[in-house]
Amino acid sequence: MQNVGEQATRPQPEPLTRAELEPLWRRERQVSWLQIAAMAGLLLAGWLAQRNEAYMWVVQPMLVVALALLLAGAGLQMATRCPRCGSWLRGKILRMIPNKCPQCGVDFPREPS
């Protein structure tokens, strides 16, 4: 573990270029959409299971698809690396990219809207 003095003296790395940030932003969007689709599938499956017994045969496949979407999103999150140093980036739920790399300290600005 580094001392606070060492972190303060470490030089600030060069900011990432737009070309380096584009894949990170695209990956973050993909993970968000996979998670949104999985949540919508879970809600629809729950609604169908409670409301309509005629559609019960659809519920199990919908749950399997929702689980597959969640696993795909988690896999994409876990496979993301820093474009500068190549270290693994560990994100949080629905916020994949941290504010900066834990290894090299380069900042990851948010995508302009």
Residue 98 within any structural domain of the chain: yes
pTM: 0.74
Domain that holds residue 79: 19-105
Measured CA to CA in angstroms, residue 27 lies from 17, 63, 74 at distances of: 16, 24, 11
Residue 3 within any structural domain of the chain: no
What are 83-93's pLDDT values in tens digits? 888 888 776 66
| Three-state secondary structure call for residue 81 | strand
Provide the number of structural domains found in the chain.
1
Residue 31 within any structural domain of the chain: yes
Residue 111 within any structural domain of the chain: no
Residue 67 within any structural domain of the chain: yes
Tokens at 50, concatenated: 């409670």
Tokens at 61, concatenated: 């496949």
Residue 12 within any structural domain of the chain: no
User: Does residue 34 carry a pLDDT above 70?
Assistant: yes
What are 54-104's pLDDT values in tens digits? 778 888 899 999 999 989 988 888 888 888 888 887 766 656 778 888 888
Residue 112 within any structural domain of the chain: no
